[in-house]
Amino acid sequence: MSLPPEVIGRIILARFLSVSLKRYENEINKVESAGIFQALFPDIITFKMFPRARVPGDKEGFTDNTLVRIEQDGETFSIRYRLLGFAGEYRLERKKLTRLIGRGNFAGFQRDEIDLLDRRLRLISTRNRITHMTLLGIIEHQGAYLKSCDPLKLVPLSQMRISHWIKKQGYQSIDNSMISRVVNGTFIIMPDGKPMLLKDFFPSSREICKGHVKGILAKEEMQLKSDLLDRPYTDEEIKVRLKDLYNLKVSRRTVSYCRDQLGIPPFSRRTYDNTYPPQWAQFSPYFPMTLSSVKENVPEMSGIYEFSLVEANIEYPIKTTGVFYIGSSKNIKKRLRAHLGCWSRNGDLNALINRDKCFLPVCAFQ
């Protein structure tokens, strides 16, 4: 049983929307360089740029998978496309063509050649229209983020919501599956000059929550150290702060999930042990990670040890520190000598210890 023409058309469009940006650019260049296109443009084939679309004087800063550069234009934004062929719609004026053919012009082109060109131009224009409307929808919904380039200004946004917004602008045939295809693997250049995946403009509520929870708890740590807070926040209090500060409505369970994903302990553990190392841990002073230092400073007892790089700043969920490894052993002196020996089974750790200036304290258990 053959498929209806409209179904076949949607399958062809779906495949065309899924091709990479580089292949898409090659397709546009191929169409525009064809003899039939050059013969009909611009009298029979016209090109109209989209509102707020621009084209750069050169392609500096644009990679093969970068579509546009978003530029602030007063209170709003303009969309500067890498290629003119991305920035508008082609149209073949059939009535004009019929009149010219009737006078004997363009007799060298067959009807099927013209029909094929028309179909290809329609596909290109449809993809361009879907892409441009998606970008306008992103500007509409993520304007605060585009103005500040602050990730905390991102709001939860779904492709379904953008498709509903596009339908309200009068384009009823554009759905979220089409949007998903055109944003996949495509980069844009932000107003601050940094590249960003187009699909990253569509974070879920949970992803947004995770970023805000991280910020709240980082501030909590500073306030606890400055005695501005008597105790850490509970998950319920974090939920309330998310609503008050960011108008983000999530459940306490979502807060707990995001906190766990960040590797941050719950309220009870942060209440009684919110610093590292904890007060009960009697660590020795720092000493170099060398055989002579280990022999001099480490007892043959069970305990904990940590490796640090003096000039390194490693960003962890709630703190930046030079600590890159924490270990324990029933005989920490023997274990540290093993780390320094050629028989160490942890190659990456061994490389850090021997290549960089590694220091450590130990905490021996009595």
Q: Do 157 and 239 lie in a common domain?
A: no
Residue 254 lies in a domain: yes
| Whole-number average pLDDT of the chain | 85
Sign of CA dihedral 189, 193, 195, 201: negative
| Integer CA distances (angstroms), 321 to 23, 269, 282, 284, 350, in order | 45, 20, 19, 18, 20
CB 136: neighbour CB atoms within 10 A?
A: 20
What is the mean predicted confidence (pLDDT) over 42-51? 92
Q: Which two tokens stand for residue 56?
A: 């750069």
Torsion of CA 210, 166, 185, 258, to 10 degrees: 10
Residue 280 lies in a domain: no
Q: In terms of Cα–Cα distance, which of 242, 215, 243, 220 is closest to 233? A: 220
Q: Do 301 and 254 lie in a common domain?
A: no
Which of residues 149, 178, 201 is at a domain's end?
201
Residue 331 lies in a domain: yes
Residue 340: is it exposed, middle or buried by C-beta count within 10 angstroms (0-12/13-18/19+)?
A: middle
Residue 355 lies in a domain: yes
Give me the helices (H) in the chain, please.
5-18, 21-33, 35-40, 94-102, 111-141, 143-148, 159-168, 176-183, 205-225, 235-246, 252-261, 267-272, 291-297, 332-340, 347-355
Please indicate whether residue 222 or residue 346 has the higher confidence score (pLDDT). Answer: 222
Counting every residue, how long is the chain?
366
Residue 45 lies in a domain: yes
Residue 42 has pLDDT above 80, yes or no: yes
Count CA atoms within 13 Å of residue 242 on its CB side.
Answer: 28
Interatomic CA distance for residues 257 and 210, integer angstroms: 9
Provide the domain limits for residue 315.
287-364
Residue 305 lies in a domain: yes
Sign of CA dihedral 101, 103, 104, 106: negative
What is the Cα Rg of the chain in Å?
Answer: 30
Per-residue model confidence (pLDDT) at position 189? 93
Q: Do 227 and 340 lie in a common domain?
A: no
Per-residue model confidence (pLDDT) at position 322? 82
Residue 333 has pLDDT above 60, yes or no: yes
Q: Do 184 and 324 lie in a common domain?
A: no
Per-residue model confidence (pLDDT) at position 281? 62
Per-residue model confidence (pLDDT) at position 24? 94
Residue 35 has pLDDT above 60, yes or no: yes
Number of structural domains the chain divides into: 3
Per-residue model confidence (pLDDT) at position 141? 94
Highest average pLDDT, of 81-90, 95-104, 214-223, 323-332, comes from 81-90
Per-residue model confidence (pLDDT) at position 265? 85
CATH number at residue 330: 3.40.1440.10
Per-residue model confidence (pLDDT) at position 108? 67
Residue 279 lies in a domain: no
Q: Do 181 and 35 lie in a common domain?
A: yes
Which of residues 153, 174, 201 is at a domain's end?
201
Q: Do 213 and 312 lie in a common domain?
A: no
Per-residue model confidence (pLDDT) at position 178? 93
Please indicate whether residue 102 or residue 214 has the higher confidence score (pLDDT). Answer: 214
Terminal-residue alpha carbon distance, the chain = 82
Q: Do 226 and 293 lie in a common domain?
A: no
Q: Do 312 and 341 lie in a common domain?
A: yes
- CA 242 from chain center: how many Å? 22
Q: In terms of Cα–Cα distance, which of 282, 293, 364 is closest to 331? A: 364
Q: Do 53 and 187 lie in a common domain?
A: yes
What is the mean predicted confidence (pLDDT) over 136-159? 91
Per-residue model confidence (pLDDT) at position 96? 79
Residue 287: is it exposed, middle or buried by C-beta count within 10 angstroms (0-12/13-18/19+)?
A: middle
Q: Do 221 and 174 lie in a common domain?
A: no
Which of residues 170, 201, 232 is at a domain's end?
201
Residue 338 has pLDDT above 60, yes or no: yes
Per-residue model confidence (pLDDT) at position 365? 63
Residue 309 phi/psi, 5-degree rounding, is -110, 125
Per-residue model confidence (pLDDT) at position 309? 82
**269-315 confidence digits (pLDDT tens):** 777 655 556 555 677 888 888 888 888 888 888 888 888 887 767 77
Q: Do 258 and 340 lie in a common domain?
A: no
Confidence of residue 344 (pLDDT cuts 50, 70, 90): low
**185-205 confidence digits (pLDDT tens):** 999 999 998 999 999 999 988
Interatomic CA distance for residues 141 and 298, integer angstroms: 59
**218-238 confidence digits (pLDDT tens):** 888 888 877 788 889 999 999
Confidence of residue 158 (pLDDT cuts 50, 70, 90): very high
Per-residue model confidence (pLDDT) at position 125? 95
Residue 327 has pLDDT above 80, yes or no: yes
Residue 277 lies in a domain: no
Q: Do 173 and 90 lie in a common domain?
A: yes
